[in-house]
Amino acid sequence: MRVTLAPAAEPCRHSRYAASYRRIALNVQTHASCRFAGPPVRGGDWAMTERLLLVETTGSDEVPARITRLLAQRRVRLASAYVTRRTDDDGWAVQLVVDVTGDDEVSLLVKRLNRLIDVVRVIAAGTAAVHQRRSVFVTLQPDPDDASAVDELVGLFGAEVLDVRPAGMTLHLAADPRHCEHFVAVLEPYTIVETVAGAVCAIRHRRPSARPAAPRLRAADAPVKHDRLNA
């Protein structure tokens, strides 16, 4: 079995397989071929994509544990999870961002989740069907000469400066998940000390409900105006 490696400038996207990826690269340097039992490889690239699942359940306290247990049994890589109580009926609103290989795996995961006790429904939401937001905190230690450049990036991304001290500065951004990733990426040259990213929170697009048309009055139902002069 021949293994085609990506260029060295393109690191493995998922840290879960980074060690295996480096081990394969070392083996290929010394041997013409090697055997690898890992995730499916299509066209030489990792065919993993992030998908958002919206799970609505009842108010049972065991629901979050059941969901995480199922993901562990299915060996589904969980990128983020947002769990909160709904205010209308005290049920759970669970939002999962998982790494999958395609639509078939998503459909199977949705079916498995729907079979769980107390799960009302599961929706596999596309990026165009929901509004997504993520909160990220970044602590930097930039050089004094780079302070103006950091301020410019803060204004460009619409972030905010939470704290400025001699030991460093802390920035915060609440935006689309991809926007947050780009924000952290452009700050890497300025000595990132710590990065804390929250779970992805999303809400579906709501179509405007069609209002019923007002009933039209017929001529026979129209009010009759009495003219006192003609009476």
Report the top-level CATH class of 131-204: alpha beta
Given this model, what pLDDT does residue 88 score?
81
- pLDDT in the model for residue 225: 56
Bridge-based pairing of strands 192-197 and 168-175 is unpaired
CATH architecture of 49-126: 2-Layer Sandwich (3.30)
pLDDT of residue 210: 53
| Per-residue model confidence (pLDDT) at position 32 | 28
Full 3-state SS string of 102-145: CHHHHHHHHHHHHCCCCEEEEEEECCCCEEEEEEEEEEECCCHH
The tens digit of pLDDT for each residue in 195-230 reads 999 888 887 666 655 555 555 555 555 555 555 555
Q: Tell me the C-alpha distance between 50 and 71, whole Å.
A: 15
C-alpha to C-alpha distances, 22 to 26, 33, 202, nearest whole angstrom: 6, 15, 35
Residue 140 CB coordination number (10 Å) = 20
pLDDT value, residue 125: 81
Domain ranges, ordered by start, for the chain = 1-46, 49-126, 131-204
What percent of the chain is modeled with pLDDT above 90? 46
Give yes or no for a contact between 132 and 202, defined as CB atoms under 8 angstroms apart: yes
Low-confidence ranges of the chain (pLDDT < 70): 1-47, 126-129, 204-231
